Structure 1
C-alpha cells in the first residue's frame, strides 16, 4: 500500500464531533476542554504501523478541529491530548486515546497490563474511518405497538454458539442471529422484539483477566457508538446492520441493552483509555471539587458518568440518535437507569437528559426501558421514570415467584401485578404498558434453575460464592439441582408453566429470558457475568421435556396475541389512554361471587379468580390461579346462558396441550382447579 502522509487543508468545523468524511477530505473534531493541544495519529490498517500525527490547529470553545486531506479510507487512528493542568486529569502526554465518537474500532479491547504501561498504543484499538454505506433493501422498522410486544432477552454469542443448525461460520456472531434457523426459532415462538445484551465496544475488567475469566455480558463499555468486533467476522458495523435488517424483515424489533452509567476506565486507579484523557472533568461524577480523583461510584464499577453535564447529555443523545437512525435499532434498555437521572447524588425524574430525550423527535418515538435503580443514594426508583418510559418491574418478578412457591398473604399484591401494577404505575399518569413483566432476567436464575435450586452455586465465578443475589425466592421441590425423580420433574415443569403463563397473561409488556423456553440451566449460577462457556450458552440439544416446554411457550404467546383483553385492558377509572369503550374487571371467590374487602384480608388464601369482560366483542375471559397444594373448585358459570371453553390449563401434561380447547361447558361449570396450577377460560353467549 502506498502511504501518503495526511495534512491539514482547512480549519474544519467543530461539528459533528469525531472524524467524518467531507468529500475527499475528513473533518476532525475533538471535545477536549482541559487540553492545550490535541493530535490525531494515523496508522496502517493491518500492522498498525505509525504513519503520521497531525495537530488540530483550530479551536472553537472546547472543541479542537481541522480539515485533513490525503487520508486513505483504510487508515486507522487514535487521539493524543496535552493537558493544560495535569492536576485536573489522568493524561500522560505520550498516551493515545480512543476517540469517544469513533463509529468503528479495528479490534476488541483486551486488557494487557504490561502493554498498557509500556506500549499502550499496541493494546489500544484504533478507530476506523467509517463511511456508513449499506443497502437496507427497502426494509423498514416494524413499529410494533407496546401492548403487542413480547420481548426476548438474549446474548449475541450465547444464543447461537451451540446451535448446529446455524451456519458454522456465523455461530455466536451478529450474523448468527440473522441466520435462518435463529429467525425461524424467534418467529415460531411469536417474539416481537429481541433485547440484546450490550454490544458497545467493551473491555473485561483487569481483575477477571488476571484469574482467567472474562466479562461475558459486556457491561463495561469504552465507547458508545462502535459495536464490539468480537461478535463479527469482518466489519462489525456492516454485520450489525445486516442483523438488524434481517430481524426487521421478519417483523422483529431490536432493543439494545445500553450502558451509559459507567465505562471501563473504572475508578481513580483505573486505566486511561478514552474519556479520562480528553474530557474527564466533565464526564465523570466526583465526590469532591478539588480534583483529588475521588470518583463517585453509583454503578458499583468504579466510576459514574455525569449524565447531567453538557458533554454527558450530548454524547448520550448523539449515541442514541446514531443507533436509532444509522443502525436502525428500535429502542434501548438502560442499565442502572437511575444514574441517568442524577443531579449530583440525587435522582430527578425531570432531569435534563430525560427532558432532552422527550423533546427529541427521534428518541422520543423509540422504546425506552429503564432498569429503575442504581446503588447510589435514592437509588431505587421503580415507577418514577417519565411517563413514556417502560420499567423493569422487579416487584412483579418477586411477587410471582413467591406466590407460586407457596408463600401466604400475596393474593392482593398478585392481583395488582396482574393488572399492570397500577399501585406503582399510577392510573391517569402512566400507561398500563409501563410495566415490563418478567420472572427471569440475565442477572439471576434461569426459569429452570428457579424451580431447581434454593441456594446459588456461583463457585465458577471464583469469588467463593459471595457474588450474586442471595434472595431469589426459588424452590427446589425436594432436590437441590438436577434429579431423575419423575414426581419432582413433573412439579417443576408445572411451576415453569405457571410462571410463564402468569407473565404472558398479565397487563404490561412480557419479557422472556432466552433459553427459558427450552429449559436452559446455568447449574444454579445466578450471576454468570464472567462465564463465556456452556454455563451461559444455550443448549440446543433438546430432550422430550425441553420440546414440550417449547411447544407450551409457543402456545401461551399465541394465546396472548389472540385475545386483546390479555394485551390491553381499558378500565373506566383510568383516563391515561382514552377509548370509547371500557372493560369490566371482577375478582371472584371460588363460589363465583365477587370478592369483598374482607376477602382480601384472608392471608391464608392462595387462590385468585379474575373475570374480564369485553362488551365490545361479546366475550369474557376467566383466569384462575391456585398456588395451594390442594385443589379448589371454582364456579365459573352458574346457570347462565354462557358457553365456557377452556383455553389453557397448566395442570395438564404437555402431551394433552392439543386437547385443551376441546373442553366446553354450557350454562353451568364448576371447575376443579388442580393444586399449584392455572387455567384460562373463554365465556361466550349461547346462540339462541
Structure 2
C-alpha cells in the first residue's frame, strides 16, 4: 500500500476530514470490489487519481474504508463499485458508473450532466455527478445555534428557495436571484409579515432532469443526496459554495428570529424504477436501499418509481445521521417529512405498529427539541392523520384543509366539521393526549391550488405541464365565485378577496400550529395549475408586483400574525394538551340566536364564544358561509362590551384593526355579510 494510504476506519461513514487527509467509509454488503476516483474539476472526463480498496485490509464486515493523505476539503470524488449484475436477484452493480457517496456533504454538478446517459450503460465521467469533501470545522457560525422557538410561538411560511426571488421584479441582485443568498435579501419582508419559521421545499441535492421531456423538476422532490444542499441554489461557482451559502442563509434567518425547517424526502430517490439512472444507491447495494417486490421489482408506494427501504438498519441509520447532520452542522430547526407514512412500512411494505425509524428519530437526543412535522399519508392509500406513531410528532392536518374549504364553498354538513377544526380537532387528537400544536393547520400548500386559485377556479388547468391535464389532484374543493379564472367583475373580485381573508382568519386563529403558503398573503396565482412541480418559470415563481396589487391582504395577514405571536409570547409559549386547553377555556356554541347552534346538514352559519379564564379575554367568532347576510344575536357580557376586531366583509382598513383599536359594537346584534367572518373581543379595550 502507498505511504499516503492506510486501511482507515469504518466510522464515521462518508468522507471525514482528519489530520493530514480524509477517511472514507462506505457500506456495501454485496460489492466485490470498490474504487475511489478523484477529480480536479466538476466536468473532468479522466480521474486525477484512482484508489482501489483491498478487501483484505480495507474491508471490515460490510464496510469499505480507507484513509487517503493529502486530500482536502473541496476535493471531488466518486465511487466505482463492482459486483454481480443480477436484476432478478435485485443486484444491479455497474462498474461503468461513477457513484455519489450516500453520506457526501456536497455535490459537484457538471455542466453537461445527463440523466439520459446515467440511464444507459457506459462510462461518461465528464457528465457524472461527483461528491465533494466538506470540512464543517472551516465555517464560522459566529455563535449561531438553532432557535428552538416553542411550537405555540410558531407560524410556518412554506416557500420555494428559487421561486421566491427568481422573478425579475423581485429587486434581488441578478446574481443572487433564486439562491440561498437571494432569500436573505427578502428577510425584512418576512419579518414584516410576522411569520416565525420558513419551511423550505426540498433543498437536498436533487435531479432537476427527473421530469417530463422539455421540463425540469422544479419542486425538488427527486433527491439523490440526503446530506448535500442543492447546487443550483448557490450564487458562486466554487466547489463548496452551496454549503457555505446555505449556512449563510440559515445564520441570517436566525439573526432575524426566524427558524428554518426543511421539507425532507426520505421516501424515494431520483433513481426511479428499473429504467431509471444509476447515480448512487442502486449501484452501491440495491436490495439494501430499496423495497423490492419478489426480490427484483421496485415497490412504488410513492408514485415516483421506487420506495426507500427506510426501516432497514443501514438505511434507518442513514436517515437519522442525515437529520443529525442538518441539526448539528447546518443548524436546522425542524423537518417536514414528505409522505411520512411510508416510514411506517417494513421492507415488504407492510404497516408496522411501531416503526423503528420513527422512534429512532423521535428519541434521538441530538434531535430533542427539533420540530418534527409529518405528512401523515402516502401515495398508496395509507392515511394516518390522527394516528401517526409517536408522542412528539406533529401532523399536517389534511382534514383541516378539506373541512375549511368545504365550509366556505357551502357544502352540506360542513358546520360540524369546521367547528371541530377551529378548536384543535379534538375528534381527531384529544383522545390521544396530544398537545394543541401537534395539529399543523393549513388550507393550501405547494401541492394544489394557491389560495387565490382556490377562490378563482373550479377545475385544475395544468395543460402546460405536457400531460394533457391528467396530473394533479381532481379533489380541489374549490369555488371560483362565479367565473372561471381572472375577471374584471368588481363584485366577484370583492367576494374572492373576502374568501381569502376568511381562510386566513381560520388558519391563524384556530387552535394548532398554523402554516401559510408562499404568496397567499398577496393572492399569488399559478393560473389554475395545481401541480407546478415542473414549472420553473413565472407560473411557479413569486410575482412581487402582487405585493402592491394586494397590499390590503398583506396588511390583513400581518396583523393576524402579529396578534397571534403577541398572545403566545404573553403566555411564554407554554405547551399544554388539547384536553387541558379545552378545559381552561369556557366554550359556547351559538347560531343566529344565542345558545341555539344549528348543527343540521344544511346549516352554513356558526358562532363560537370563548372565555379564556387565565387572562379574562372573551371572544366571539362568527362564521357566515351562507350566500345571504345574517344577523347574529350577541351573548351578553358582565361588566364589559363587545368590540369589533375583524370583519372580512369590510374594506381595508376596517376589515381588521390593530388589537388595541378594536371598534365598540353599540348593539346586541351584529350583521355579518354573506361569505364573511367576524371576530369580536372584550379585553383590555379602553371604555
TM band (smaller chain): over 0.9
Q: TM-score normalised to the size of structure 1?
A: 0.92
Deviation at residue 56 of structure 1 after TM alignment: 2.0
Residue aligning to 1:367: 371
Partner of 2:49: 52
Q: Post-superposition shift, 1:408?
A: 2.3
Q: Secondary structure at the match of 2:301?
A: coil
Q: Match of 1:421?
A: 425
2:430 match: secondary structure:
coil
User: Could you say if the C-alpha distance between residues 16 and 433 of structure 1 is closer, same or farther in structure 2, counting changes exceeding 3 Å?
Assistant: same
| Cα distance in 2, alignment partners of residues 329 and 569 from structure 1 | 20
In structure 1, the partner of 2:627 is: 629
Q: Hey, what does 2:311 align to over in structure 1? A: 308
1-structure distance, mates of 2:157, 2:85: 48
Contact 2:30/2:83 (<8 A) preserved: yes
Q: CA deviation at 1:95?
A: 2.1
The 5-angstrom pairing of residues 128-207 of structure 1 reads 128-132=132-136, 133-162=138-167, 163-179=169-185, 182-205=186-209
- The structural deviation recorded for 1:262 is 0.4
Which residue in 2 is equivalent to 1:505?
509
Structure 1 residue 141: deviation in Å? 2.3
| 2:225 paired with 1:223 | yes
Secondary structure of the 2:584 match is coil
Structure 1 residues 254-282: Cα deviation after superposition (integer angstroms, max 9, x where no partner): 11001110001111221111001112111
Which residue number in structure 1 is paired with residue 282 of structure 2? 276
* 1:132-182, Cα deviation, whole Å (9 max, x unpaired): 221112233221111211100000010011243322221110111112xx1
1:530 Cα shift?
Answer: 0.3
Any conservation in 1 of the 2:180–2:233 contact (CA below 8 Å)? yes
- Residue 228 of structure 1 deviates from its aligned partner by 1.0
Cα distance in 2 for residues equivalent to 1:369 and 1:520: 25
How is 1:52-131 mapped onto 2 (pairs within 5 angstroms)?
52-57=49-54, 58-83=58-83, 86=86, 87-107=89-109, 110-114=113-117, 116-131=120-135
SS of the residue corresponding to residue 504 of structure 1 reads helix
Tell me the residue number matched to 1:493. 497
Task: Determine which of 242, 246, 251 is the counterpart of 1:240.
Answer: 246
8 Å CA contact 2:250, 2:260 repeated in 1: yes
Range 387-396 or range 100-109, more displaced: 100-109
Paired with 1:533 and 1:35, the residues of 2 have a C-alpha distance of 43
Bigger drift between 342-351 and 402-411 goes to 342-351
User: What is the alpha-carbon distance in structure 2 between the residues aligned to residue 447 and residue 175 of structure 1?
Assistant: 27
TM-score normalised over the length of structure 2 = 0.93
Quickly say closer, same or farther: Cα 1:10–1:578, change in 2 above 3 A: farther
- CA deviations on 1:359-380 (whole Å, 9 max, x unpaired) are 201223211111111123x511
- Are residue 468 (structure 1) and residue 472 (structure 2) matched? yes
Deviates more, 1:75-84 or 1:319-328: 75-84
How many Å apart are 1:348 and its aligned residue?
Answer: 2.8
Query: How many residues are aligned here?
Result: 669
Structure with greater contact order relative to length (CA < 8 Å, sep ≥ 6): 2
Whole-Å separation in 1 of the counterparts to 2:685 and 2:328: 52
Name the SS for the 1:226 alignment partner. coil
- Report what 1:20 is aligned to: 16
| 1:175–1:243 CA contact under 8 A, matched in 2 | yes
* Stretch moving more, 296-305 or 575-584: 575-584
Tell me how far apart the structure 1 counterparts of residues 657 and 614 of structure 2 sit (CA, whole Å).
Answer: 28
Deviates more, 1:39-48 or 1:518-527: 39-48
1:164-222 CA distances to partner (integer Å, 9 max, x unpaired)?
3322221110111112xx101110011111010001111135552xx210000000011
Where do 5+ consecutive residues of structure 2 fail to align?
none
CA distance in structure 1 between the aligned counterparts of 2:146 and 2:203, rounded to whole angstroms: 20
Write the mapping of 1:258-337 to structure 2, written as runs, cut at 5 A.
Answer: 258-289=264-295, 293-337=296-340
8 A contact 2:591–2:632 mirrored in 1: yes
CA distance in 2, matches of 1:645, 1:410: 28
Contact 2:262–2:335 (CA under 8 A) maintained in structure 1 = yes
1:381 equivalent to 2:394? Answer: no
Query: What residue is the counterpart of 1:539 in the other structure?
Result: 543
Work out the CA distance in 2 between the residues paired with 1:426 and 1:638: 30
Whether the 8 Å CA contact 2:211–2:534 is kept in 1: the answer is: no
Could you tell me how far apart the structure 2 residues matched to 1:72 and 1:678 are? 61
User: Post-superposition shift, 1:123?
Assistant: 1.9
Alignment partner, residue 41 of structure 1: 37
Shift of residue 59 of structure 1? Answer: 1.1
Q: Answer with 425-434 or 34-43: which moved more.
A: 425-434
Secondary structure at the residue paired with 2:487?
A: coil
Instruction: Please report how far the alpha carbon of residue 647 of structure 1 lies from its aligned counterpart in structure 2 after TM superposition.
Output: 1.1
Deviation at 1:514? 0.3
Q: Hey, what does 1:412 align to over in structure 2?
A: 416
Q: Identify if the C-alpha distance between structure 1 residues 570 and 113 changes in structure 2 by more than 3 Å, giving closer, same or farther.
A: closer
Give the drift of 1:110: 4.2
Name the structure 1 match of 2:672: 673
Moved more, 616-625 or 315-324: 616-625
In 2, the alpha carbon distance for the partners of 1:630 and 1:73 equals: 67
Cα RMSD of the aligned pairs, angstroms, is 2.5
Post-superposition offset of 1:575: 5.8
Give the Cα–Cα distance (whole angstroms) in 2 for the partners of residues 412 and 309 of structure 1.
Answer: 43
Change over 3 Å in CA distance of 1:62–1:681 after alignment to 2: same
115-124 or 100-109, which deviates more: 115-124
Q: 1:570 to 1:642 in 2, by over 3 A?
A: farther
Unaligned runs of 5+ in 1: none
User: Structure 2 CA distance, aligned partners of 1:652 and 1:178?
Assistant: 35
